[in-house]
């Protein structure tokens, strides 16, 4: 960024990630910018404040610098960008339309790998289906950038970009012709076979706070909680 004399305006979170800790606070300290996420983060904060009994957690989204409403526009330099709420994987998931591209977070993966799981607290397969239909309304040539890639069988390289047209035609879980009923049945069955992400417990406790650790307790120590009888 410094080499090219660029100024960071936004650090855009697509959702509260459950498999890694957000680096947004580190990037903000190094480069500046505002940490933003969808306005439904408050629902996720309320949910996990109960799951982990996080009595110190502000559940009004104040840990983030900006909460985007569905359909809200914002500027990135001279580029007008728009926010599309795309829940399903989590209630707070959003996608960012920036120029000729859309950054979709955990909604769809590469066409040969399919779609995001919907079995996390607050997730819902039917909701994800409807969110993807919103993405499929974008122009076919729209470049689609993904959150994860797992290298589907037969593919040797990681890939992060596809197009709306390719997803509609080729996505193994959710083509344009796939019915909601069929997708929900497939997604629900598949989710029952998936193991819990190894970093879920620490990740969500940090990421609901915009990547910050909890405040130290009265002995000066910072704690993350490990519920023993909740996730099985």
The stretch 90-111 carries a mean pLDDT of 97
Q: The tokens 């909701």 sit on which residue?
A: 127
The answer as to whether 209 is a domain residue is no
The answer as to whether 4 is a domain residue is no
pLDDT tens-digit map of 10-51: 999 999 999 999 999 999 999 999 999 999 999 999 999 999
The stretch 210-231 carries a mean pLDDT of 90
pLDDT tens-digit map of 50-84: 999 999 999 999 999 999 999 999 999 899 999 99
CB contact at 8 A, 18 and 120: yes
The answer as to whether 101 is a domain residue is yes
Residue 129 CB-half CA count within 13 A = 19
The answer as to whether 134 is a domain residue is yes
> Is the torsion defined by CA of 8, 12, 13, 19 positive or negative?
negative
Q: Which two tokens stand for residue 25?
A: 């606070």
pLDDT tens-digit map of 110-125: 999 999 999 998 999 9
The answer as to whether 123 is a domain residue is yes
The answer as to whether 18 is a domain residue is yes
| pTM beyond 0.75, yes or no | yes
| Cα distance between residue 209 and residue 224, in whole Å | 12
Query: Which pLDDT does position 150 carry in this prediction?
Result: 87
Arithmetic mean of pLDDT over the chain: 95
The answer as to whether 37 is a domain residue is yes
The stretch 187-192 carries a mean pLDDT of 98
The stretch 103-109 carries a mean pLDDT of 96
Query: Which pLDDT does position 232 carry in this prediction?
Result: 57
pLDDT tens-digit map of 142-156: 999 999 898 888 889
131: containing domain: 10-197
Backbone angles phi, psi at 107, to 5 degrees: -120, -70
Helix (H, G, I), strand (E, B) or coil at 144: strand
Structural domain total, the chain: 1
The answer as to whether 193 is a domain residue is yes
CATH number, domain of 86, equals 3.60.15.10
């Amino acid at each position: 960024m410094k080499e090219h004399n660029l100024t960071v305006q936004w650090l855009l979170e697509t959702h509260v990630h459950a498999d890694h800790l957000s680096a947004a606070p580190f990037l903000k300290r190094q480069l500046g910018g505002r940490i933003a996420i969808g306005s439904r983060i408050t629902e996720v904060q309320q949910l996990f404040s109960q799951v982990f009994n996080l009595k110190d957690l502000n559940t009004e989204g104040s840990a983030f610098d900006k909460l985007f409403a569905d359909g809200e526009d914002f500027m990135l330099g001279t580029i007008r960008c728009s926010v599309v709420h795309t829940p399903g994987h989590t209630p707070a998931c959003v996608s960012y339309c920036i120029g000729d591209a859309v950054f979709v977070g955990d909604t769809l993966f590469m066409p040969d790998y399919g779609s995001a799981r919907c079995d996390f607290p607050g997730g819902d397969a039917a909701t994800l289906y409807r969110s993807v239909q919103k993405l499929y309304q974008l122009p076919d040539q729209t470049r689609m950038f993904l959150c994860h890639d797992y290298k589907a069988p037969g593919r040797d390289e990681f890939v992060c970009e596809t197009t709306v047209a390719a997803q509609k035609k080729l996505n193994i879980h959710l083509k344009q012709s796939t019915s909601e009923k069929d997708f929900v049945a497939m997604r629900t069955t598949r989710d029952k076979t998936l193991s819990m992400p190894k970093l879920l417990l620490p990740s969500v406790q940090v990421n609901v706070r915009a990547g910050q650790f909890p405040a130290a307790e009265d002995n000066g120590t910072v704690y993350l909680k490990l519920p023993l009888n909740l996730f099985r």
